[in-house]
Amino acid sequence: MKKLVLLGATGSIGVQTIDVVRQHPDLFTLEALSAGRNISKLKEILDEFPVKKVCVQREEDAAALHESYPETEFFHGDEGLNVLASLEEYDVLVNALVGFVGFMPTLTAIRHHHDVALANKETLVVGGELINAALKEYGQKLYPIDSEHSAIFQCLQGNNRSDLKRLIITASGGSFRTKTREELKDVTVEQALAHPNWSMGAKITIDSADMMNKGFEVMEAHWLFDVDYDNIDVLMHRESVIHSMVEYRDHSVIAQLGAPDMRLPIQYALSWPDRFDLEQNEPLDLAKIGELHFEKPDVRRFPLLGLAYEAGRKGGNKPGVMNAANEAANLAFRNGHIPFLMIEDIVISAVYKSPYKEVKDVNDLIEANEWGLRYAEMMIRGDNHK
């Protein structure tokens, strides 16, 4: 029986993690969980699973919930997330938080000798070096939940790591893959949120539409699998059937395929090296799909993909600034404050304008994050087009 602490329980990955737990009550149990402000969804979860420790964003929600669930201990805020991550009595932290807020709980869990199943991609984007150092120091493991990284992780099983030549990360191209840059000028939030293949949270769906998400995934892959940026390629593949591939020194390419269902990478992160049954509504049926398509990504069409390689190679505070500027710009677009293409302007400008600084510890990351947020907010205020 694996005891889980689940952060971000009411989000898209959180809800699907709970479904994996529901399918395997004999294998997984929820020791503690966190939610943001979706209290009604949280109550549904607590009515089904009697979880002993829960963190919510706001103090007043924590107090009100304690009235309804007197057996449960409630925490709140970022500090509460760290309290859950530092608990003794669990096996794996499932980090399904969105944004830089996910970084500290990952580090805290590792420092308290816990393995982490990671869906929060910003953790490795901003602080991959610090996380890898902590994993080494404390002897813990990090299991990827992102579908691309889970695919790569699966393709690496049973082979010698030293025989690996390159990683091939597939990309659907998001909601706007058929639109020209001219057509992107006045796309709406609703259009951006309609991803053709995957049902995901709002932030990541927007990140997919401008391929910031794919850029993040290149950076994540660099840290997870210790592969140079020169040996990580992105391949457009609109069907999202091949979740990623690896090429070995003999040019043999191994791919992982499956229906676009995040519960598979979630479950594999928790079941590795074993595999468990997984009930799927529509398992992969290649005959039904018929054709698979591939093409090279156009970095002029998707400049944030190229920017991620650049920021990743430069390192230091650049990835942290990029991530923070993107968090602010992504949110501003979703709130209707800026047009879609301005997300790119803000993120690119922040990366180029930020003075380079080395990142030696968490404080340097926080500083990079604040710089990126401040810069983006200045651009959003100063150039409010709507």
Q: What residues make contact with Mg ion under the rule CB under 5 A?
A: 146-148
Q: Which is nearer to Mg ion, 173 or 339 (CB)?
A: 173
Q: What is the H or E stretch that residue 108 is in?
A: helix 103-111
Show the tokens assigned to 309: 């390689």
CB of 145 to Mg ion, least distance (A): 9
Q: Which is nearer to Mg ion, 297 or 339 (CB)?
A: 297
Q: Which is nearer to Mg ion, 56 or 142 (CB)?
A: 142
Burial class of residue 211, CB neighbours in 10 A (0-12, 13-18, 19+): buried
CB of 148 to Mg ion, least distance (A): 5
CB of 13 to Mg ion, least distance (A): 11
CB of 119 to Mg ion, least distance (A): 9
Q: State CA 25 to chain mean position distance.
A: 26
CB of 102 to Mg ion, least distance (A): 15
Burial class of residue 204, CB neighbours in 10 A (0-12, 13-18, 19+): buried
What per-residue string of b and e applies to 232-250 under the rule 16 or more CB within 10 Å gives b?
A: bebebbbbbbbbbbbbbee
Rg (CA), the chain: 20
Q: Which is nearer to Mg ion, 146 or 327 (CB)?
A: 146
Q: Which is nearer to Mg ion, 80 or 173 (CB)?
A: 173
Q: Which candidate, 159, 270, 146, 271, places its Cα nearest to that of 220?
A: 146
CB of 219 to Mg ion, least distance (A): 12
Question: What ranges make up the beta strands (E) of the chain?
Answer: 2-7, 28-34, 53-56, 73-76, 92-95, 115-118, 142-144, 164-171, 232-236, 242-248, 253-257
CB of 243 to Mg ion, least distance (A): 8
Q: Which is nearer to Mg ion, 27 or 235 (CB)?
A: 235
CB of 87 to Mg ion, least distance (A): 28
Show the tokens assigned to 187: 């796309």
Please identify the residue of the shown chain whose CB is closest to the bound Mg ion: 146
Q: Which candidate, 74, 80, 111, places its Cα nearest to that of 97?
A: 80
Q: Which is nearer to Mg ion, 246 or 368 (CB)?
A: 246
Q: Which is nearer to Mg ion, 246 or 359 (CB)?
A: 246
Q: Which is nearer to Mg ion, 122 or 148 (CB)?
A: 148
Contacts 24+ apart (CB under 8 A), 61-69: 61/37, 64/39, 65/39, 68/43
Is the C-alpha dihedral spanning 158, 159, 162, 166 positive or negative? negative
CB of 146 to Mg ion, least distance (A): 4
Q: Which candidate, 368, 334, 331, places its Cα nearest to that of 351?
A: 368
Q: How far apart, in whole angstroms, are the C-alpha atoms of residue 121 and residue 210?
A: 16
